[in-house]
Structure 1
Amino acid sequence: MYPFHPLTAHLPIGLLLGNAALTALYLRRGDRAYETSAFHCLWLGWLGALLAVALGVFDAARFVLGAGVSGSTLAWVNAHALVGAAILVVYWQAWQMRRRAPGILDDLQARRGYLVRLGLGVALLVLDGWLGGHLVYSLRLGVAP
C-alpha cells in the first residue's frame, strides 16, 4: 500500500509558511487583504496539517509493525511525530487567538503572543520538514529497495 503522508504534508507546510509571509506583509503595508488571506492560510493549513499528522501516524504504524523498523530509526520517527503534534498545538493556539480577536495584529500588546506562536510554528515546520527528509533520504524509510 502506498504511503499517503507524503502526499498530504506539503500543502499545509506551504499554507502555514504563506500565513507567516502574509502576516509580515500586513504588518509592513497595512493592507487588510493580506491579513484576511493570512487567516485563511492559517486555518486551511491547520486542517491540512491535522490530516497530514493523522496519515503520518497511520503510515508510521504500518512501517513499524510491518517492516520491523530498527530502534534508532524508531527514535527519528517518534521525534518527527512529536514535532508534528507540537505544530498542531501551536497553530491551533494561533488560530484561536486570531479567531477570537480579529484585530489582534492592530493591538501592540496582544499581537506579541500571536506573533511568537507564528514564529515558533515556522521554526517547528522547518525542523519537522528536516526530520521527515532525514527519514526518507538518509534512513530510506518508505523507499522501495
Structure 2
Amino acid sequence: MRLTALNTCDNTALSRPLPVRHVTVPPHDHRTVRFTVTPDDLARAGPYRLVAAVGHPAAGSAQAGGSALSTVPLRELAQAYDNIGITQNGNPQPGDIDGAQSSLAAEGLAAAGVRRGGTVTAGGFTFALPEPQQTDRDNAVADGQTSRWPAGRPAWACW
C-alpha cells in the first residue's frame, strides 16, 4: 500500500517522505491500514490530495485505492497577505481590501490610535499590524486559507 500527498495548486509533494506499507491479506479477508501524515516545516502551505493505492504484483496492473483532501496551514497570517488594505488619503488607488478597490485610510486609522507596526485588540484577540510601505501588501482576503494562528499557539483559523 502506498500513500502520496500532492499540493493541489502546484503538484509539489509534502517534504517528508511518506510511508509504504506491506500488508498480507488472506483470501476473502480484509485489513485496515492507517497512515499518519505529519508535514515538516518545509511543506508548502495549502491544500493537498492524499491518495492511497493498493496493488499486488501477481495482479498485474489491477489496483484499488481512495483519496482525501487535507490542508497544511499557513505558519503566519502575514503569509496570506495578498492585497493592499491601507492607503494614504492622497493615493487610495493601490488599495483593494474587498475586491471593489476600497481601502482603509492610514490617516483615519492614526486618528483612532491605530498605527502601522502597532497592535489592535478586538474580540479578545490582539492583532499586530504590519509595518509595510504604503504600496506593500498588508491585507488578506478570505479565500479558504487555513492558518495556525497566533503563531506557535494551538489555535486554528480558516477564512
Q: TM bucket by the smaller chain?
A: under 0.3
Q: Quick check: which one's strand share is greater?
A: 2
Q: Quick check: which one's helix share is greater?
A: 1
Q: Which has the larger radius of gyration?
A: 2
TM-score (norm 1): 0.24
Relative contact order (alpha carbons < 8 A, sep ≥ 6): 1 or 2 greater?
1
TM-score (norm 2): 0.22
